[in-house]
Chains A and B, each alone.
Chain A
Amino acid sequence: MSIIQMKGVKKRYGALEVLRGVDLEVPAGQTLCIIGSSGSGKSTLLRLLMTLERPDAGEIHIAGEPLWTMQRNGRTVAAGARHLRHMRAKVGMVFQHFNLFPHMSVLRNMTEAPTHVLGIDAADAEARAIELLRKVGLQDKARVYPAQLSGGQRQRVAIARALAMRPEIMLFDEITSALDPELIGEVLHLLQDLSREGSITMLIVTHHMRFAQRSADRVLFLDGGVILEDGPPDQVFGAPREERTRHFLAAVLEE
């Protein structure tokens, strides 16, 4: 069964229609790369799944449960705070600008939510945080504050922090766009390792076409708020169906 189902999802900001009817099914464990020019609605798609934005129309199901509605006394009503928190437990997100908590040490960044949201006791949360830091190659940075890390290190901490909540789905929103070129590699490598493990469903919004080609199980090309291309990387990059996709790929691959 699909872990994510979107049907006719629309979102507008004022006069600007960012998503104009998106239908999408993502099977569990898939690594999905979303490409497209800026303003095509890629980030908005992720933000809807993280409940940072509310869709104007359409339905989103996560693990079979509706994200934005719930049942009360046999009727469908808008999701309340409790339902949203129940649904958010399945999803984690990593942001372009890391969004670490600057006043907390790396360790506290990673244990704050597990202890207070999942109710894991402090010692277990710390042990798990250290284990995750080892996984992202930063085991010696537990006591350090975010400002003392490089951009690449901060983003790896942000990934580890999201993983500490044991999400089934991870959303990556242009997570290398704010990094210096020489720091991008370390973050992409980590993503690739995670993708190979295959235990988490990953939605990756990215501008790195070669990364998408190498690591994705499936590539979406979003344009003007609709999905124009959807298929395995070889097909989307090698034999795109739409003229528009060919133009986009020609433009970005020229860089």
Chain B
Amino acid sequence: MIAFDWQYAWRVLPELGRGLVVTIEATVLGMLLAVSFGLALALMRRAQSRIIAWPAAAFVEFVRSTPLLVQLYFLFYVLPDAGLRMSPLATGVLALGLHYATYCSEVYRAGLEGIPKEQWEAATALNLGPWRTMVAVILPQAIPPVIPALGNYLIAMFKDTPLLSAITVLEMLQRAKIVSAESFRYVEPLTIVGLAFLLVSLIAAIPVRRLERNLRTPGA
């Protein structure tokens, strides 16, 4: 039987809490990057010009077929050599954001393909320009249906943040490992980390569902 030391658990809680803040920070910033760059990738892949479409497609395929951990190490060790110095957290956010942007771009692509060509034709008949057609007509119809899928990636990304411990980001798991190593007690910190992930995942699902509901068109 493994004994659970409540007093010890209580003592390490603040330190793990600071880690949770970093974890959430990385997730939120990473997701902001992922949903915006993902949309850009999806739009680039649809471009008529191959000079725009092809690099976007290649980037998506390349990033999706290589492990996130390898990408993290690559950015962490190679970018400084290229003269680009960033904090470990910023590097982690960049890696998470780029990685998940490729998945988000596929989600957007499905949403864009779901818009009937009649909507494009109506926009042409009204003489709307390409920008206005995209922003006012196509995206407002393409994005709401894919928000649940984007929400799934938000939670998946959140659960991938412990990988950032590999590049010395002091997120929750990294701090749990440090306090455990000092006291040789692993049960309490790791249990707390697990429960924290569970709790935040469950809570994060609520605003995603609400957003999806709010974006629905009346009467549709």
**Which residues in A have some Cβ–Cβ distance to B below 8 Å?**
50-52, 81, 85, 88-89, 91-93, 95, 97, 99-103, 112-113, 116-117, 144-148, 161-162, 165
A117 to B128, CA, bound (A): 6
Is B203's beta carbon under 8 Å from chain A? no
Contact check, A117 vs B129: say whether CB atoms are below 8 A apart.
yes
List B206-220 residues whose CB lies under 8 Å from chain A: 217-220
**Are B217 and A147 touching (Cβ within 8 A)?**
yes
Complex interface: chain B residues within 8 A of A113 (CB): 126-128
A92 to B121, CA, bound (A): 11
Residues in A neighbouring B127, C-beta threshold 8 A: 85, 88-89, 113, 117, 165
CA distance A146 to B137 in the complex (A): 14
Q: Which of B137, B140, B217 has the most CB of A within 10 A?
A: B217
B36 part of interface (Cβ distance < 8 Å): no
Known A112-B128, A145-B218, A145-B219; further 20 A-B contacts with Cβ < 8 A: A50-B121, A50-B124, A50-B125, A52-B125, A88-B127, A89-B127, A93-B125, A97-B118, A99-B118, A99-B122, A101-B122, A101-B136, A101-B141, A102-B141, A112-B137, A117-B128, A144-B219, A145-B220, A147-B220, A162-B126
Known contacts: A116-B132, A116-B136. The answer to whether A52 contacts B119 by CB under 8 A is no
- B interface, over-half SS: helix
Q: Which of A101, A145, A148, A162 has the most CB of B within 10 A?
A: A101
A81 CB, min distance to chain B CBs, angstroms = 8
Find the residue from B126, B136, B140 having the highest chain A CB count within 10 A: B126
Tell me the smallest distance from the CB of B67 to a CB of chain A, in Å. Answer: 39
Q: Smallest CB-CB separation from A89: which chain B residue?
A: B127
Please list 9 pairs of residues, one from A and one from B, whose beta carbons are closer than 8 Å in the complex, sorted by A's number: A51-B124, A88-B127, A97-B118, A99-B118, A102-B217, A112-B136, A117-B128, A117-B132, A161-B126
Chain B residues contacting A117 (CB-CB under 8 Å) are: 126-129, 132
Q: B144 to chain A: closest CB distance in Å? A: 8
Q: Which listed residue, B121, B124, B126, touches A165 by the CB 8 Å rule?
A: B126
Interface positions of B from 32 to 74, Cβ below 8 Å from A: none
Specify which of B121, B141, B220 is in contact with A99 (CB 8 Å cutoff): B121
C-beta contact mask, B136-148 vs A, less than 8 Å → 1, else 0? 1100110000000
- B128: chain A residues at CB < 8 Å are 112-113, 116-117
Query: Which 5 interchain pairs have the tightest Cβ spacing?
Result: A99-B122, A147-B219, A113-B126, A148-B219, A93-B125
Cα distance A50–B118 in the bound complex, in angstroms: 13
Given contacts A51-B124, A88-B127, A161-B126, contact A99 B132 (CB under 8 A): no
Taking CB atoms, residues of chain A closer than 8 Å to B220 are 102-103, 145, 147
